[in-house]
Amino acid sequence: MVIGFIIMGGEAIMSYRSLPLSKDARKRIHLILHAIALALGAFGIHAAFKFHNESGIDNLYSLHSWVGLGTISLYGLQWIIGFFTFFYPGAADTLKRSAIRWHALFGIFVFILAVGNAQLGFLEKLTFLERTGFDKYGSEALLVNFTALVVILLGASVVISTLAPSNIEETKKSSVI
């Protein structure tokens, strides 16, 4: 799920903003990367339920699981609405212009939810490991904490790079002045 929602989703977000391609090419790449992220997220949820069922662990008992289901639901809704508004068959230009800011804002919100939910998952994993009597400073704990820090830094870099003014926009504005 980290590969899907955070890595692929982050790449999809940044690709639309930063690739030096035509708008149509960036839109297609953005759409495809998000579809891959959604598919990987759905596969991850299926794997989690399967693992829980085979291990005798209850499903949907933690904040991590509930936020996760909410996140993938919002991610899917965002993808479907974006697909029909901006790609196929495409809404009216006035609707696209009014929806693009909300689409971008909601997309960043869902991405931040995914990063936050990953942190809940890492914390849950550490809690499970603690119950088994692992060393608090052992290699497993360091791996989980290091991975959690990398996810936070990656998420922050995606959000900052997306919200920061781009050089292209600054160049356009300065050429007008």
Residues 87-98 pLDDT 10s = 888 789 999 999
The helices-and-strands tally (H runs, E runs) of the chain is 6, 0
Find out whether 86 and 75 touch, Cβ atoms under 8 Å.
no
Q: Is the pTM of this model over 0.85?
A: yes
Residue 128, pLDDT > 90, answer: no
Which three-class secondary structure state does DSSP give residue 175? helix
**Could you tell me the fold of the domain covering 2-165?**
Four Helix Bundle (Hemerythrin (Met), subunit A) (1.20.120)
Query: Bigger pLDDT: 4 or 173?
Result: 4
What pLDDT sits at residue 141?
86
Res. 174 pLDDT band, cuts 50 70 90: very low
What pLDDT sits at residue 91?
86
> Nearest to residue 104, comparing CAs of 7, 35, 165, 17?
17
End-to-end CA distance of the chain: 46
Find out whether 75 and 110 touch, Cβ atoms under 8 Å.
yes
Cis ω on the peptide bond leading into residue 20 (within 30° of 0)?
no
Average pLDDT across the chain, whole number: 90
Quick: pLDDT tens for 7-33: 999 999 999 988 999 999 999 999 999
> Nearest to residue 122, comparing CAs of 12, 41, 1?
1
What pLDDT sits at residue 175?
46
Res. 1 pLDDT band, cuts 50 70 90: confident
What pLDDT sits at residue 168?
54
Find out whether 130 and 136 touch, Cβ atoms under 8 Å.
yes
Mean pLDDT, to the nearest integer, of 68-75?
96
**Exposure b/e, 84-99, CB count within 10 A at least 16 = b:** ebbeeeeeeeeeeeeb
Find out whether 77 and 38 touch, Cβ atoms under 8 Å.
no
